[in-house]
Chain A
Amino acid sequence: GESVGLHLPTLSVQEGDNSIINCAYSNSASDYFIWYKQESGKGPQFIIDIRSNMDKRQGQRVTVLLNKTVKHLSLQIAATQPGDSAVYFCAENIAGSGGSNYKLTFGKGTLLTVNP
C-alpha cells in the first residue's frame, strides 16, 4: 500500500510486508532531504537522508527515492516489523543556503501501523 503524507496520513501493513511512505515537498530549491521516525512520546529520530544529486539511497531495511521532477520523496521499509510502528516525517533543507543551512522544514507525517 501507499500513503501520501499530506492527504492519507495513515498506513496499515502486515508484519513482514514492505511499506512505502510518500511525501510531496514544497520547495524546488531544497537540496537535502531527511526521513525521521517519531514514536509516541519521543522526539524525531533520524532514519536516512539523501542529497538532491542522488535519486536513490539505501540503508538497513530502508530505501529513500527522490524524484526532483515532481518534487516527490518516498521511504521504503522492507520486511516491516511491529517496532517500525510510528509516525514518519520527511524534512527538507536548503543545504547550500549558507548561513541558514540549519533550517529543516517538516512535512505533516504519516502514521504507520504494523499488524502482527
Chain B
Amino acid sequence: GAGVSQSPRYKVAKRGQDVALRCDPISGHVSLFWYQQALGQGPEFLTYFQNEAQLDKSGLPSDRFFAERPEGSVSTLKIQRTQQEDSAVYLCASSPRDRLLSPPPKTQYFGPGTRLLVL
C-alpha cells in the first residue's frame, strides 16, 4: 500500500532561489503536517492542515515560508528567497484523524522527507 510520498527527495538550491516541495499524503487522510528537521535535531512543527484549511501555521519560521493544500489532498511547501539556514529535511505527515477527535497522534504517518541544501 502507498504511504506518504514526498518529492523531490533531494534539492540543491542557490541562495535566493525559490523552491517548492511536494507532499502526497495517504489517500483519504484528513490531516496533514509539515515539519522541519535540522541536522542532528528532532523534527519541529511547521504547519497543520485539516482538509484544505490551514488551521495552524505558527511554526513557519518566516513569511518566506508558505504552504497550501488547495484540494485537501496534495500539499506544497514553498520557500521563497532561500537562505542557508533553510537547509534541512522537510518532513510531511498525514493522519486519518481530524483535530477534534481524540488522539493519539501516533496516527501521524511520516513521509521520507525532502533534503534541502541551500548553497
Which residues of A sit under 8 angstroms from B31, Cβ to Cβ? 102
* Listed stretches A64-72, A76-84, A92-100; interface member: A92-100
Which residues of B sit under 8 angstroms from A108, Cβ to Cβ? 40-42
Contact among B108, B111, B112 for A104, CB-based, below 8 A: B108
Number of interface residues of B (CB under 8 A): 27
Are A102 and B42 in contact, with the CB atoms below 8 A? no
Interface size, A (range): 20 to 34
- Known contacts A41-B112, A99-B99, A102-B99; decide if A109 and B42 are in contact (CB<8 Å): yes
Task: Give Cα A32 to B42, complex, Å.
Answer: 17
Task: Give Cα A101 to B99, complex, Å.
Answer: 6
Chain B, range 41-78, C-beta contacts under 8 Å to A: 41-45, 48, 55-56
Which A residues are within 8 Å of any B CB, using their own CB? 9, 32, 34, 41-46, 49, 89, 91, 93, 95, 99-109
